[in-house]
Every structure is written in structure tokens, then in C-alpha cells.
Structure 1
Amino acid sequence: MDKTKLINNIGNYRWTICTLLFFGTTINYLDRQVLSLLHPILEEELKWTNTDYGLITAVFQLTYGLFTLFSGRLIDKIGTKKGYAIALIIWSIGAILHAFAIPIGKGTSDLLGILGITGISVSVAGFIIARAILAIGESANFPAAIKATAEYFPKKERSLATGIFNSGSNIGAILAPLTVPWIAYHLGWESSFIIIGSLGFVWLVFWWIYYDDPSKQKRLTAEEYEYITEGNEVNDIAPEEIKETKTSWFKLLAFKETWAFTLGKFFTDGVWWFLLFWLPSYLTSQFGLKNTDITLPLAVLYSMTMVGSICGGWFPLYFIKRGYDTAPARRKAMFFIALIPLVVLLVQPLGEITFWIPVLLIGTCASAHQAWSANLYSTVSDMFPKYAIASVIGIGTMAGSIGGALTSFLVGRLFDVYKATGDLTSGYTIVFGFCAVAYLFAWFIMKLLVPKLK
């Protein structure tokens, strides 16, 4: 019998699981994006400064990074089904709590006053609490999804399955500007948090019904189960808990290779967080776009990131086919990718013509980030044995979150300084300058630390 026909006859339930992971990741990014889209409205209504908003987003990034270090190990301990469900419940509650941030902030502000901490407004305190809860839950999305992929797919299909569910992040970033401004305009900003946040509970019903450990999954045919597990060792199906617990973070920090990846994340993740959290405000302050006016520009911009995700993964193959080994090919590809964000140096000079030019240039930078990120993660598997990969990625993710938090906080302070002088445009010029050179700077730091990937 033809091998392709045989595979088609074994069943395709594993792709149902992939679909669940795709929608889970889409909801993850939808919940994450609501605040940035409502920032112009909240800034006016709640009298926020840019520093206030920068502080709120920085708390999210720090909390997300900290809990990423531990969420994967927790999911290994309690199982994928329960772990992902608990994570989604936590982040959905956190998303909905944004709508009640002011009453939450009243109690928080009073407590901070007792502790001697002043200067944080009631609304800011409430949003910090809601944002931290959201981050705690969202930090488990990718560890859970990656483990579910390892459980339900044979090795040869995992990269395809991962690429499909990971594209949910781009879809979420696209859907958010198409829905959130409309909801806020017609029903109020509180309704945006409640409606979008509630989507997770709808997904949870399907997850609980259709997901189970493959060995207990009644919807899997015996042939498909055998196909999934064929050639897989036990510690390959469940990411290597035993070996990983023996890999000390402090031991890994002794390697220059760890620092190469970690600093690569630290210097470039801040660009992505800035693009996620500040672009709606940029379009409002620089071009006067408000409410549903920003829907189409942001949808176009984030759609471009999907191109970067796909092309970035393919680019090293271009050099591999020309005789390069995998690691040198990846580094060469990353160098050319690092040149692409230089286009944002033209954002301010050409922005006077039409806002569409900055949108396309910033979209190009965002697309380059996704291409860079795909290859940066892959350098870990180029340099480290399999049992150490998750720990190194956890360290780098934490560093990237710290870099993102610092970027958000400093950007907020910088914008307030320039806003006070009536020259906010110069503030954006400085930030876009940082975005332009961050990847080249990171590439040279990585090259200096590890001259040859090995």
C-alpha cells in the first residue's frame, strides 16, 4: 500500500489537538493586546501619564518572564490537560479584572499607603494587579502547547504543528485591532476586557472535552496512536523532566553560549514589546487616528509579521543549499535579518507624507523581529544538548522580559519628558533609532561571545 495513503488512513485526530492549541494561542494574544489598543482612551479618561502606562506594561513583562521560568516544570508535574486549563482560567480572570481595575485599585492603593508607597494612582494600581494576574496565566501558554505537541505528534511533524499553533499569536494580534476598538466605541472600554476575556472560558469547554493524554484518548485510533509514538522514547514524549531537573541554571550561566542567547533576547525583545504595546498610541499622537481609525493600519501591520515568521524559518535553508553547515547558515541569515530594521530610521522623515508609510516600515521591522526570533531560538538547539534546551530558553526568556520591561518603563518616561516640551515626535525618533540598531548590536555581541556556533 502507498505510504501516503496509509498515513491518511490512520486518522487525523492529532490535528484536532493542533487546532485547539492554535485557538488557545490566538486568545492568549487577544487578551494581551486589549490594553494597548485602549491606551489612548484610558490615557484621556483616567489621566494617565506615559510613565504610568510604561509602569503597567513593565509589570506585565517582568511577571511574565519570572513565571515562564517555572510554568513549564509545573505543567510537567500536574499534566498538560490540567496545567493548560488552570493557566487559561487564571489569565482569563486577569483579563476580565481589567474592567474592574478602579475598585481593585482602591484597596491596593490603601494597602500601598499603609506600606509607605505613594505616588501610584488608584487606576494604575488596579491595572497593575490585573496585568500581573494575566501575565501569570499567560506565561504557561507556550510551555503547555509545546508539550501537547510533543505528546500528540511524531518527531517529523512537530515543527509543522508548532508553526501552525504558533501562528495563532499573529492571528490574535491581527484580530485585536479588528474587534477591540469597535467594542469599546459601542459598548465602552470595560466591555472590551470582559467580552474578549470571556472567550477563554468558551475555549476551555472544548479543551476539556477533546484533550486527554494520548494513552487515554478514546478518539485516537490504535493506528494513529502507534504512528504518534513510533520511535519516540518516553522522555521525548514528556519533555525531559528527570534530566532537566539535574541541569542547574547556575551551571548553564557559566557558558558563554548561554549568555549569547540571553543577551540576544535582552537587547531585542524590548523592540517587540514596544511594537505590541505602544503602536496604537503612536498612531493616535502622531496622526490623530482614534478608536476604529486604527483598525485597518494595525491589522495590515501585524499581518506582515506572518511573512517574517515563515520567511525567517526558511532563510537559513537558502545558505544551507549553498554548502553552509546549519549553524553558520543560521548566523549568516541572522546578520541579514538584523539589517532589515534599519528601515525604521525613515519612519519620522517620511511620516509627513502619509501615515501608511510608517505603518509599512514599522510592519517591516516587526516582520524582521519574528524572523530574528525564530532563528534566535534555534541557536539554542545548535549549541546545547537536548536536555538543557528548555532551561536555557527559560533563562533567555526571562532576560527578554527584563529587557522589555526596561524598554516600556524608559519609553514612558522619555515620552513624558518630550511631551512636556511639546515635541513628542523627537521622543519617537529616539525610540525608533533604538529599534533600528538593536538587532545589529545583539548580533555583534553574540558573535563576540561565541565566534563559532558549536
Structure 2
Amino acid sequence: WEMAFLLIGALGFVWMGVWVFAYKEPRKNPRVNEAELAYIEQDGIGEDNPECDASSKCSEPEVGVFQAFTFRQTWAVIFGRFLPDSVWWFLLFWAPAFISNVYGYPTDSTEGMLAIFTIYLISMLSLGGSYLPTFFINRNRVNPYKGRMHAMLIFALFPLLGMLVMPLGQMSMWYPVVIIGIMAAAHQSWSANVYNVVSDMFPKSVVATVTGAAGLASGLGSFTSNYGAGKLFKYATDTDMQFLGFSGENAGYMIVFLIASVAYLVSWIVMKVLVPRYKLVELKKR
């Protein structure tokens, strides 16, 4: 296992070298058009704005940690991370145990390793998820937030397949494996867009604060889902719990997958209620 960390760490240095060589500031990047540049610099602050430099008084907006929580946009991002990330980390931590406990294939078996590999292989479909908001923006001429929310609604529908994990799993292990992979891909696409929702609605100086608050919500959600799932599975096994035709630990999995399947749609609805339309947060300047 040590070699896995060494190889991934080495790849990180390779990527850092590529990034340093390939990255150009938006104002100096020939691939950034005028509309994109205007959107990036819409708050008038940043290293790419020629009117702002280290010696000027082009100051950033003031915002404290607690003040960030007074904005509906902050809570929209928090709810966009809390439930979805709890599902993501449940899938990562419990998928090997699910395959082992329900189907009898431990993670060191050929079938178990192939199942996990398949889940991660399918999750790579998320690489195309970042393009969908751009498609809506260019086709419908909508603002980035609206285009992103359209895309996230589509991503929120795919996890509904999670309702079929246990029923179809009675026929073959590969049905749950494929569905879990699709859910993982949908999450990655959702997650990439939730991160960008922050920069859609907040000035640069606030992005780190709001992202950190959302990260805290993500951690709390992940802890809750994994701890709660463990308690539920133990209770279901000890009491031989019955639920929708499943018994024992399988009944517990059925409950968890039902919750996971609707988590993204619930999060999208909450985000839409909190921020029904695009509005950039405006803060006082120093």
C-alpha cells in the first residue's frame, strides 16, 4: 500500500509541472474571450485586473467568517455539499463491504477487485460533466448559475437509480455495481459544479471562506452517513429487521440506498429555493 501513495505523490509533482507550464492568467490567455474575461473580472478585483496592483488601493470587499453565514447563497452551497457528499463517502467506504457481505466476494478476490475497478471506471464518465453547463449557457444564452443549475438537475436524477440497487441485486451483483458506478459519476459531475457555484455568486475574496464552510458541511455529512450506516447495519443484523421484502443487513442497505437516491434531488430543490435566480453577492469595500 505504501507504493500507492508514492506513485500518486509522484504524479502530483508531474501534474504540478504541467500546470506551471500550461497555465496562463485569464487576461494573457489567448483562449479566453472577452465575455469570459468580463465574467471572471466582474467583481473588479484580482491579479488579472490591470487597475489593481500591490501598490494601489484597489481593496477587496470586507467579510468575516460569521458574516458569510448571513447570505442565502452560502447556505445554498452548504446544502449542496452536505447530503451529496455524505452519499459519496458512503459509496466509497461501504461499496467493498457491500460486495463482500451481500455477495461473498472479499476485496482481495478477483471478483471483488473487478467489481471495485468497474465502479471507479464508470465514475470516470463524470469527465464530461463539466461540459454540460457550458452547453446550456451557449445554447440558451443564460447566465452561468442558471446553466449550472440546469446541469445539476440532470445529475441529480441519475442517483434515483439507487432505488433499484437491492431489487436488481437479487438477480446479479453486476446490476448494483453498474448503478453505484453511475451514482459515483453523477456525484463527481455534481461536485465539480457545486464548487463553481461559489465563484458564480461570490467575489474572489469570499470564495475560500464559503468553500471552507461547505467543506465543513461535507465533513459533517460524511461522518454522519458513515457512522449512521454502521449503526443501522448492526441494528438490522441483530434484530433481523424487515423492510420492503429484505431482512437483516440487506434491509439496512435498502434503507440507505433509498436515502442516497433522493439526496441529490432534495439538495437541488433546497438550493433552488434559497437562490431561485442568479445574484452576485455584493460586499462593502475597504
Q: TM-score, normalised by structure 1?
A: 0.49
Question: Identity rate of aligned residues, in percent?
Answer: 36
Q: Is residue 313 of structure 1 aligned with residue 130 of structure 2?
A: yes
Q: Give, in whole Å, the separation in 1 of the partners of 2:124 and 2:148.
A: 19
The two structures, once aligned, show a CA RMSD in angstroms of 3.1
Q: Give, in whole Å, the separation in 2 of the partners of 1:397 and 1:434.
A: 21
* 2:4 equivalent in structure 1: 196
Q: Give, in whole Å, the separation in 2 of the partners of 1:280 and 1:400.
A: 22
1:91-170 matches, within 5 Å, as none
Are residues 396 and 243 of structure 1, via their aligned partners in 2, closer, same or farther at CA, if it must alter by over 3 Å?
A: farther
Q: Give, in whole Å, the separation in 2 of the partners of 1:407 and 1:255.
A: 27
How far is the alpha carbon of 1:268 from its aligned partner? 1.1
| Cα deviation code 1:53-90 (max 9, x no counterpart) | xxxxxxxxxxxxxxxxxxxxxxxxxxxxxxxxxxxxxx
Q: Give, in whole Å, the separation in 2 of the partners of 1:243 and 1:358.
A: 53
Q: Give, in whole Å, the separation in 1 of the partners of 2:124 and 2:4.
A: 22
Amino acid at match of 1:340: F
Q: Is residue 282 of structure 1 aligned with residue 98 of structure 2?
A: yes
* 1:434 equivalent in structure 2: 259
How far is the alpha carbon of 1:243 from its aligned partner? 6.9
Amino acid at match of 1:446: M
Which runs of 5 or more residues in structure 2 are unaligned? 29-44, 241-247, 280-286
Amino acid at match of 2:131: W
Q: Which of 399, 420, 423 matches 2:217? A: 399
1:371-390 matches, within 5 Å, as 371-390=189-208
Structure 1 residue runs of 4+, over 3 Å off? 194-201, 227-237, 240-247
How far is the alpha carbon of 1:235 from its aligned partner? 3.9
Q: Is the 8 A contact 1:244 1:391 kept in 2?
A: no
How far is the alpha carbon of 1:325 from its aligned partner? 2.7
Q: Is the 8 A contact 1:344 1:365 kept in 2?
A: yes
Aligned residues: 245
SS of 1:267's equivalent in the other structure is helix
Which runs of 5 or more residues in structure 1 are unaligned? 1-191, 215-219
Q: Give, in whole Å, the separation in 1 of the partners of 2:199 and 2:268.
A: 17
Q: Is the 8 A contact 1:343 1:436 kept in 2?
A: yes
Are residues 236 and 289 of structure 1, via their aligned partners in 2, closer, same or farther at CA, if it must alter by over 3 Å?
A: farther
Are residues 243 and 283 of structure 1, via their aligned partners in 2, closer, same or farther at CA, if it must alter by over 3 Å?
A: farther
Are residues 387 and 345 of structure 1, via their aligned partners in 2, closer, same or farther at CA, if it must alter by over 3 Å?
A: same
Q: Give, in whole Å, the separation in 2 of the partners of 1:318 and 1:336.
A: 13
How far is the alpha carbon of 1:297 from its aligned partner? 1.1
SS of 1:324's equivalent in the other structure is coil
Q: TM-score, normalised by structure 2?
A: 0.76
* 2:181 equivalent in structure 1: 363
* 1:271 equivalent in structure 2: 87
Q: Is the 8 A contact 2:25 2:48 kept in 1?
A: no
How far is the alpha carbon of 1:197 from its aligned partner? 4.2
